[in-house]
Structure 1
Amino acid sequence: MKAHFQDFAAYNDWANRRLYEAVGALPAEDFTRDLKAFFGSIRGTLNHILVADLIWLGRFTGKPAAGITSLDQTLHEDFAALDAARREVDRRLIDLVDGMASADFAATIAYRTMTRGDAENRVSDMLTHVFNHQTHHRGQAHGLLSLLGREAPSLDLILFLNTR
Structure 2
Amino acid sequence: MTNTWSSTAAGDSPSHAVRSYRQLAAYNAWANARLYAAAAELGAEACAKPMGAFFGSILGTLNHLVVTDRIWLARLLATGAPQPPLDTLLETDLARLLPLRVAEDARLTAFVAALDAARLVAPLTYANSSGQSFSQSCASALDHVFNHQTHHRGQAHTLLAQLGGRAAAPSLDLIVFQREQPRA
Asked whether the two chains share a fold, i.e. TM above 0.5, the reply is yes
Note the alpha carbon deviations across 1:86-123, whole angstroms, 9 max, x for none.
Answer: 00100000000111122100001110001361111100
Q: Tell me if 1:40 matches 2:51.
A: no
Cα drift, residue 64 of structure 1: 3.1
Q: Tell me if 1:98 matches 2:89.
A: no
2:145 maps to a residue whose letter is: V
TM-score w.r.t. structure 1 length?
Answer: 0.96
Q: Tell me if 1:163 matches 2:180.
A: yes
Higher Cα radius of gyration: 2
Which residue of the partner structure matches residue 161 of structure 2? 146
TM-score w.r.t. structure 2 length?
Answer: 0.85
Counterpart among 70, 80, 85 of residue 95 in structure 2: 80
Equivalent-residue separation in structure 1 for 2:40 and 2:80 (angstroms)? 29
- SS of aligned partner of 1:40: coil
Equivalent-residue separation in structure 2 for 1:35 and 1:2 (angstroms)? 38
2:115 maps to a residue whose letter is: M
- SS of aligned partner of 1:148: helix
Q: How does 1:1-164 map to 2 (within 5 A)?
A: 1-66=17-82, 68-115=83-130, 117-150=132-165, 151-164=168-181
For the Cα contact (< 8 Å) 2:127–2:134, is it kept in 1?
A: yes
CA spacing shift, 1:116–1:139, aligned 2, 3 Å: farther
For the Cα contact (< 8 Å) 1:108–1:122, is it kept in 2?
A: yes
For the Cα contact (< 8 Å) 2:67–2:86, is it kept in 1?
A: yes
For the Cα contact (< 8 Å) 2:67–2:84, is it kept in 1?
A: no
- SS of aligned partner of 1:155: coil
Which residue of the partner structure matches residue 12 of structure 2? none
Percent of residue pairs bearing the same amino acid type:
45
Provide runs of 4+ in structure 1 moved above 2 Å.
none
Equivalent-residue separation in structure 2 for 1:65 and 1:23 (angstroms)? 29
- SS of aligned partner of 2:143: helix
Structure 2 unaligned regions, length at least 5: 1-16
Q: Give the number of aligned pairs.
A: 163
Equivalent-residue separation in structure 2 for 1:71 and 1:65 (angstroms)? 14
Structure 1 unaligned regions, length at least 5: none
